[in-house]
Structure 1
Amino acid sequence: MNLTSRSERLTGRIFLIALVVVTLLPFLSMLSAALQPRGTVPTGLAWPADPQWGNFADAFTAANMGALLRSSLLIVVGVVPIGVVIATMAGFGLGHLRVPGGRIAFGLLLLGLTLPFEAVVTPLYYQMRDLGLLNTRWAIILPLIGLYMPFSVFWMRAHFATVPKELSEAARVDGSNTWQLFWRVHVPLARPAIASLTILLFLWTWNQFLLAIVLVDDATKRTMAGALGAFQGQWGTDLVLLCAGSLLILTPTLIVFLIFQRQFIKALIQGSLKG
């Protein structure tokens, strides 16, 4: 048993080390390229003798990162809170209240999980055009709320379906109505699930590329990831500046995940234990 246990631990550590190396290698390659002198062609992982940290400032200015950051934040604020609130309420209704017709609604939502973004880009384009929302941030915000909703409701329903009915019955005896039951009893218990969903929607919205470049022509009204297309078209021959700009765009998502990783992992573990 000891030999088997040691072998399993060793195999697990080797696998984790290999996974870390494979994950970090592209970032290290981009970082080494971003620190090369302007006008050179980066090769491999060679660390420059004189790192040019000023390339990041140049990329920030060239890509107008200040405006892009503001635009991305506005889109995230428009998508994430609304999506989380609607998904939490819908998940509570479908997972705990067992509302009439809930199974049919949930089945339709499951079909939405199979729908790729690429399949709805063209219809969305014409719909946004008819609504007069093309080249505005609403052309990104409104579709994303709808496209993220199937997964969001599924995520929250999975939590509420595991909450014991006795909690609701006790609250009903104390005189709580459905609204009070939701806000005072179930929402506090659902904080890990809500936090993890918020993180996921933030990351997905911040990194949204396809809808941003199709529905919005003005790069300053796109997400930062969507604006990368315009930045690449303008500075595609300057690989050093392009790598620096790409790292700047990736930095906020990495910071958010590192800060909230404990809550995200806690929600995943909690869901697996309940399952």
Structure 2
Amino acid sequence: MIVSRREALLGRVLLVVLMAVTIVPFISLFVTALHPGGTYPQGITWPEDPQWGNFARAVEAAQMGKLLGSTLLIEVGVVPAALLFATMAGFALGQLRIRGHRVLLVLFLLGLTLPFEGVVIPLYYQVREMGLLGTRWAIVLPLLGLYMPFAVVWMRAHFATVPAELSEAARVDGAGLWQLFWRIHVPLARPALASLGILLFLWTWNQFLLAIVMVDDPTRRTMAGALGAFQGQYGTDIPLLCAGSLLILAPTLLVFFVFQRQFAAALLAGAVKG
């Protein structure tokens, strides 16, 4: 398909505008974080005396060390288990075509339509009945269930595009079901697994509502969930609040920049196969 110069120029202008819309809020947060504590900066104005110490104050005030450890524990509890369950279920639905796979797929698709906010209250009472309220399990277990519809559909879409002849050839060579899964299909699914893992990591890191509903202690929440308590305590100190917000956002941005090629490759591979 030939693209005219006008269309190419319009596309570049649109990309520049979208980039500016994305970057400007981060610039505003960064500049505001450098103003003296207790002030109310107007617009994006560089301070005469940048207060770089606001970031160190935010680390100490928000107990970033404890928050980081708590968030990593929740990530370890959610992401590997979600990837394992989603890969096995996606393989069963997309490659093995087990009995009733179409009905199960419809059920998972219906799960994508459930509003997250609409299930928080039932989850709260269920977690309380289990005696897990206030623990990190109150975040880990619900997230596993809430992530499954998207994760299973994502992995099923990958396995459904793998030629059935590959599995037949492996079976002819004597491969069993587990060998077929672990040695043939899982290595081929690495791009899809990498992109799904990135998404699950970012979603878990930025989990806010579930963390503040299920856990009272801010040091047992995710980084984003603890931001609510930090905002309530230092809501009048706008520069300090902006510094804390940037510190919480920084790891997610770093993860995306490091793994952006794998994520884009998985999306392009899915587009080509589809």
Q: TM-score range by the shorter chain?
A: over 0.9
- Post-superposition Cα deviations, 1:229-252, rounded to whole Å, max 9, x if no partner, equal 000000000001000000000001
The one-character-per-residue Cα deviations of 1:49-106 (angstroms, maximum 9, x if unpaired) are: 2211110000000000100000000001000000000000100000000001111111
Match of 1:47 in 2: 46
Which residue of 2 is the match for residue 98 of structure 1?
Answer: 97
1:166 aligns with 2:165: yes
Letter in 1 for 2:226: A
Q: Report the Cα offset of residue 172 of structure 1.
A: 0.4
- Separation in 2 of the partners of 1:112 and 1:259? 31
Q: CA shift at 1:187, angstroms? A: 0.5
CA distance in 2, matches of 1:43, 1:180: 62
Amino acid at match of 1:55: N
Q: Is 1:64 matched with 2:49? A: no
Mapped to 1, the partners of 2:271 and 2:208 lie a distance apart of: 31
What's the CA shift string for 1:174-207, capped at 9, x where partnerless? Answer: 0001110011110111000000000000000000
Unmatched 5+ residue regions in structure 1?
none
Unaligned runs of 5+ in 2: none
Aligned residue runs from structure 1 range 1-275, under 5 A:
5-275=4-274
SS of the equivalent of 1:146 reads helix
Offset at residue 257 of structure 1 (A) = 0.4
TM-score, structure 2 normalization: 0.98
Write out the 4+ residue segments of structure 1 that deviate beyond 3 Å after TM superposition.
Answer: none
User: CA RMSD of the aligned region, Å?
Assistant: 1.1
Shift of residue 17, structure 1, vs aligned partner: 0.5
- How far does residue 128 in structure 1 lie from its aligned partner after superposition? 0.6
Percentage identity across paired residues of the two chains = 70
Q: 1:43 deviation in Å?
A: 1.3
SS at match of 1:161: helix
Question: C-alpha distance in 2, partners of 1:42/1:136?
Answer: 38
CA distance in 2, matches of 1:170, 1:67: 51
- Give the partner amino acid of 1:250: L
Structure 2 distance, partners of 1:11, 1:47, is: 32
User: How many Å apart are 1:9 and its aligned residue?
Assistant: 1.1
Which letter does structure 1 place at the counterpart of 2:94? G
Distance 1:47 1:270 in 2: 44
